[in-house]
């Protein structure tokens, strides 16, 4: 568990301003302090929580908020699909717990342990340490943000959320070791910028799907090329 927590420290540091800003936005968006804390405890999904706050502030209906956050979190299905072969041997209660704790940050922190190492029989403890560290940090920072938001109402204009993006990029780049991976990143990044204006950040879903399609296409193309070279030899 301790190893998982240590591996997540860079992302925890990057998430601190993100969690604080969420807490500061709760009040102006019409969400009570207890409501904001409950959302961080139960939902535990930064992007979805920010979008939900925006929709609440705009007076959106509850079904719209639920549907939008569901779409935004569809990327977690892709994360889970990568982990399924590594956790299939675990009891149901463990898989349920891991599903709840699966976030962008936890996936980035544990990917090396699950994907690049052969012995993953006990890697779920590494995972548990990672998500508990991030979970506790997220709840604590939400509470801190609520308190600071009352003292400094203009905190949302400080640009602290930029630290989260920089930290996440720093964690992901070392894993980009193949052409399909780079192709997926470049295409998804370009699409994300092109669709930045789409409502409710739906452009992220479009970018993710395009990136997946690009990476898969590159992989199949390289595999076919390698097979043809072997056949000619």
Domain count along the chain: 2
Same domain, 55 and 156: yes
Same domain, 187 and 115: no
Same domain, 137 and 36: yes
Determine contact, residues 31/56, Cβ cutoff 8 Å. Answer: yes
For 92-140, the pLDDT digits (tens) are 999 999 999 888 888 888 877 776 666 667 788 888 999 999 999 999 9
Q: What are residue 8's phi and psi, to 5 degrees?
A: -95, -5
Which of 156, 175, 194 lies at the terminal end of a domain, its last residue? 175
Q: How far apart are CA 232 and CA 221, in angstroms?
A: 17
Same domain, 190 and 105: no
Same domain, 49 and 159: yes
The pLDDT of residue 167 is 55
Same domain, 78 and 27: yes
Which of 175, 191, 210 lies at the terminal end of a domain, its last residue? 175
- CA-wise closest residue to 76 among 50, 105, 51: 105
Which of 175, 198, 225 lies at the terminal end of a domain, its last residue? 175
Q: How far is CA 214 from the centre of its chain?
A: 20
Domain span at residue 67 reads: 2-175
DSSP string, the chain: -HHHHHHTHHHHHHHHHHHHHHHHHHTTTT--HHHHHHHHHHT--HHHHHHHHHHHHTT--HHHHHHHHHHHTTHHHHHHHHHHHHHTTS-HHHHHHHHHT--HHHHHHHHHHHHS-S--TTHHHHHHHHHHHHHHHHHHHHHHHHHHHHH-TTGGGS-TTHHHHHHHHHHHGGG--SHHHHHHHHHHHHHHHHTTTSGGGHHHHHHHHHHHHHHHHHHHHHHHHHHHHHHH-
For 163-214, the pLDDT digits (tens) are 556 655 765 676 677 888 899 889 988 998 998 888 766 787 788 888 888 9
For 36-81, the pLDDT digits (tens) are 999 999 999 887 888 788 778 777 777 778 877 887 787 788 888 8
The pLDDT of residue 198 is 83
The pLDDT of residue 165 is 61
């Amino acid at each position: 568990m301790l190893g998982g927590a240590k591996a997540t420290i860079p992302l925890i540091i990057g998430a601190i301003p993100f969690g604080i800003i969420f807490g500061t936005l709760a009040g102006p968006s019409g969400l009570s302090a207890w409501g904001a804390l409950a959302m961080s405890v139960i939902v535990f999904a930064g992007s979805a929580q920010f979008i939900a706050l925006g929709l609440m502030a705009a007076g959106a209906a509850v079904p719209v908020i639920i549907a939008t956050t569901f779409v935004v979190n569809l990327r977690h299905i892709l994360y889970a699909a990568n982990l399924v072969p590594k956790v299939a041997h675990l009891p149901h209660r463990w898989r349920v717990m891991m599903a709840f704790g699966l976030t962008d940050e936890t996936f980035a922190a544990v990917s090396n342990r699950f994907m690049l190492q052969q012995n993953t029989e006990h890697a779920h403890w590494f995972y548990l340490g990672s998500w508990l560290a991030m979970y506790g940090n997220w709840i604590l920072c939400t509470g801190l943000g609520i308190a600071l938001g009352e003292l400094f109402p203009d905190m949302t204009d400080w640009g602290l959320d930029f630290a989260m993006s920089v930290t996440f990029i720093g964690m992901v780049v070392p894993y980009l070791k193949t052409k399909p991976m780079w192709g997926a990143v470049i295409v998804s990044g370009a699409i994300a910028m092109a669709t930045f204006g789409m409502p409710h950040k739906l452009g992220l879903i479009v970018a993710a799907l395009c990136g997946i399609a690009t990476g898969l296409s590159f992989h199949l193309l390289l595999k076919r090329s390698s097979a043809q070279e072997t056949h000619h030899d």
